[in-house]
């Protein structure tokens, strides 16, 4: 069984053809919609927007491991452990929530 503890091990897994194939199958199964947004009555789909700065399609949907890859490597490619989520929901799931920077001029007197 493979281990996915280090950043390098995870990168190798996520760059593999097997993962890319499963990832596309899961997105298709989920109709290219965020399943977390769907559970909350919202719709978030992949819009195929192009990012000029990155020179590639903007990543709006990702395939998320419900039981984390690091702790459950045996479920790495199990479709029942994978779901399509938007980047915002994925970041919230992993505790990567960034507060909007406060405008320092917001309460400044305007004249």
Q: Where exactly are the structural domains of the chain?
A: 7-93
Instruction: Give the pLDDT of residue 27.
Output: 95
Strand ranges inside 1-111, DSSP E: 50-51, 56-57, 61-65, 82-86
Give the per-residue pLDDT at 28.
95
Hey, is 68 helix, strand or coil?
A: coil
Average pLDDT over residues 36-47: 89
Cut 0.85: pTM above it? no
């Amino acid at each position: 069984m493979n281990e996915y503890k280090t950043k390098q091990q995870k990168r190798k897994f996520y760059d593999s053809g097997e993962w890319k194939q499963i990832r596309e199958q899961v997105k298709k199964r989920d109709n290219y919609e965020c399943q977390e947004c769907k559970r909350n009555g919202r719709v978030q789909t992949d819009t195929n927007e192009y990012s000029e700065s990155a020179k590639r399609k903007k990543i709006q949907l990702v395939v998320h491991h419900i039981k984390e890859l690091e702790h459950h490597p045996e479920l790495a490619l199990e479709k029942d452990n994978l779901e399509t989520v938007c980047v915002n929901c994925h970041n919230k799931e992993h505790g990567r929530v960034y507060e909007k920077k406060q405008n320092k001029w917001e309460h400044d007197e305007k004249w």
